[in-house]
């Protein structure tokens, strides 16, 4: 990341691109035990949180990510009573999970408590459900927490993690997925953010293979816009423990609570992959030419 007085820049040297937002004020900066956290007030995207120089969320577009990381999985499970969120320190995913009345308990396992405390201060609308009696918080290592989870105890696991670098690398491993599979009840589902289909198809394919090796029988990918993330196009990967992942309770149109992006038709549309993604997933191989990437 580069800083100047008026702009926040996130530079992706690997992809050869950058994303910038005009800044009104640098509201907060601190080095927690785990990472550098910065909060900005921007001109056009509201409040912005960056971790180690990478954008985590903004006021303007976080609803896309939070809705698509929760509702597709919860509406694909017949009775999601116990939900666990690995990561998700800004609490937006937790809020969306608790919109589902059938959820009896939602546990958020976040490594860095400071992310949650700063979200409560600067993104209070995302933390509206934090005092819900169904909400439980554990601040510590999500990989260890899942390794020690009781078998057959969870219905849906949502891995709302950062990119596969640093402490988050283990959240993309076969061993972690095997622990998730062990902790899930029959018919359980896992969903995890899986980066940009345009920039990061190798990561998506590696996740697909690792989930299957970890014990999941079906893996599905869904995609949606996300303006503040690299390329503006993001994805999540959903894995089923027993048989095909099916949208068993998806609404015909709008769900029984207010959403801004998710709906029944959007659920089905997100699971409709463009041809290059279908080919890559079917063949387990990424071809740069499919997305116009120049040869090295």
Give the residue numbers marked as catalytic: 160
The DSSP bridge pattern shows strands 47-51 and 54-58 to be antiparallel
Burial class of residue 284 in the structure, from the number of CB atoms within 10 Å of its CB (0-12 exposed, 13-18 middle, 19+ buried): exposed
Q: Please give the Cα distance from 28 to 30 (Å, whole number).
A: 7
With a CB cutoff of 8 Å and minimum separation 6, the contacts of 67 are 96, 259, 260, 261, 262
Count of H-run helices and E-run strands, the chain: 9, 13
Counting every residue written for the chain, the total comes to 296
Q: Report DSSP state, residue 72.
A: H
With a CB cutoff of 8 Å and minimum separation 6, the contacts of 275 are none
Please answer whether residues 43 and 22 qualify as being in contact, where contact means their C-beta atoms are separated by less than 8 angstroms: yes
Please answer whether residues 106 and 135 qualify as being in contact, where contact means their C-beta atoms are separated by less than 8 angstroms: yes
Angle between helices 174-183 and 201-213 (to 10 degrees): 50
Q: Please give the Cα distance from 111 to 114 (Å, whole number).
A: 9
């Amino acid at each position: 990341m580069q800083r100047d007085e008026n702009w926040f820049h996130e530079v992706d040297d690997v992809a050869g691109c950058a994303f910038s937002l005009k800044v009104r004020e640098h509201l907060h900066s601190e080095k927690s035990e785990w990472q550098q956290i910065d909060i900005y007030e921007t001109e056009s995207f509201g409040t912005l949180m960056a971790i180690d120089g990478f954008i985590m969320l903004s006021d303007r577009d976080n609803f896309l990510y939070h809705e698509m990381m929760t509702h597709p999985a919860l509406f694909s499970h017949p009775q999601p009573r116990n939900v666990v969120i690995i990561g998700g320190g800004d609490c937006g995913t937790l809020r969306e999970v608790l919109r589902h009345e059938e959820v009896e308990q939602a546990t958020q396992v976040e490594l860095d408590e400071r992310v949650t405390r700063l979200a409560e201060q600067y993104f209070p609308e995302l933390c509206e459900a934090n005092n819900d009696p169904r909400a439980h918080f554990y601040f510590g290592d999500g990989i260890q927490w899942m390794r020690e989870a009781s078998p057959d105890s969870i219905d849906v696991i949502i891995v709302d993690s950062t990119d596969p670098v640093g402490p988050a690398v283990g959240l993309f491993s076969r061993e972690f997925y095997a622990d998730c599979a062990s902790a899930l009840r029959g018919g359980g589902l896992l969903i995890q953010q899986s980066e940009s289909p345009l920039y990061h198809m190798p990561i998506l394919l590696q996740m697909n293979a690792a989930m299957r090796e970890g014990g999941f029988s079906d893996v599905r990918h869904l995609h949606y816009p996300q303006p503040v993330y690299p390329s503006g196009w993001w994805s999540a990967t959903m894995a089923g423990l027993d048989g095909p992942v099916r949208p068993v309770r998806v609404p015909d149109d709008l769900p029984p609570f207010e959403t801004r992006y998710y709906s029944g038709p959007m659920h089905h549309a997100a699971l409709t992959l463009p041809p290059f993604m279908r080919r890559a997933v079917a063949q387990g191989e990424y071809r740069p030419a499919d997305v116009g990437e120049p040869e090295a």
